[in-house]
A = this chain, B = another copy of it.
Amino acid sequence: MTTIKDVARAAGVSVSTVSHVLSGRRPISEPTRLRVMEAIERLGYRPNRLAQGLVSKSSRSLGLLVPDLANPFFGSMAEAMEIAAHDRGYSVILCNTNLDPKREADYLSMLLSRQVDGLLYFPGTRVPNRALLEAVAAGVPVVVVDERIDNLPGVFVDNFDGGRQLGRLLAQLGHRSLLFIGGPEGLPTVTDRLNGLRAGLAEGGRASVNLLLRFGEYRASHGYEIIHACAREGVFAAVGDERPTAVVAANDMIALGALRALRELQLHVPRDCSLTGFDGVEFTAMITPSLTTVQQPSTRVATAAVELLLQRIEAHENHRDRERAAQEHQPYADAAPVIPHVVLPVTLVVRESVAPPPRN
């Protein structure tokens, strides 16, 4: 490894001069600058970020905690976030939590050890992770994404509105009996989408709709099993308003599994039963039938999250500096601790998987 010392020696200047050439924090004469640059080039010098981080107390990296990268929703989110972070000079340390609180705690500790400047966190469970709250208490800037946690800053989509648009659509088509397959019960995304759905159905003129609720995981297998379980219970053999004529899945993966199961039950989508998803991942446009879903602006969500996190990081650093400068007196209490929640709009994408209910 060639170090800044080697460069200094090669250029015949002091170490600090090389540093100043690189950072531009102090004026350097043109001839010296050129000599230094030449030496850097010639020796292939690359500053050691560990050393930089040690003195600057900032690693210029973010921790990304995500439940399940195999899910393309999280995949594209992670991709967009990494790109946004890279654009602003930050690296991303990937952590696969698998929704396991133990793993999360483990990762959090590692990330703090690595002096990350901030955390991008996808919650996957209802109760906020203890270790996360400790990290927040320890002063690490955090932005929560996708799933709301009340007193933490975050970026989300308007899940209620998405649900409402679905509800209106289905009501207008004439559906009076729905099966809602949620993710984990009580999770804000699930609850908001469901409440939105109810509101939309009401707006669509269906005052009283038969709404069957099931909860579980955000996975294809869950959608698949719920449908089969319902079938075993005779749900789809019922008549009149007892029989659901549409399945509303809380996300696209669940819908995918449900679609598979419906097909195995010889229920044609959308002829015998409509189906909707949520998130709008790429494959929903490609499958047969193409899936009616609510599209999240994933890139915008990801960018907004990184943006917000970097803002917080800067604020945090300034705060620390100010504290250090004026440690003897507290001139004014901290400004109102507003917790920013960015909410982005969603778009209903109507595709082949919905139709009026069968009449019989």
Contacts and interface: CB of A to CB of B under 8 A. Distances in A.
Interface residues of A, number: 55
Nearest to A67: B79
Contacts of A95: 82, 86
B96 A110 contact: no
Given A69-B69, A113-B47, A93 B91 contact: yes
Tell me the interface secondary structure of chain A in the complex: helix
A115 B47 CA distance: 10
A75 interface: yes
Contact of A259 (B47, B86, B109, B286): B286
Interface in A244-270: 256-257, 259-260, 263
A93 to B, nearest CB: 5
A20 interface: no
- Residue picked from A49, A69, A285, most chain B C-beta under 10 Å: A69
| Copies of this chain, count | 2
- Residue picked from A50, A72, A95, A259, most chain B C-beta under 10 Å: A50
A48 interface: yes
A288 interface: yes
Interface string A59-79: 101001000111110111011
A1 to B, nearest CB: 8
A340 to B, nearest CB: 25
B54 A50 contact: yes
A69 B59 contact: no
Given A46-B109, A70-B75, 11 more contacts: A49-B115, A50-B51, A64-B94, A69-B69, A69-B78, A79-B96, A220-B282, A220-B283, A256-B283, A257-B286, A260-B286
17 contacts: A49-B113, A50-B54, A50-B59, A68-B79, A70-B76, A71-B72, A71-B75, A79-B96, A82-B96, A91-B110, A93-B93, A93-B94, A220-B282, A224-B286, A256-B283, A260-B285, A263-B288
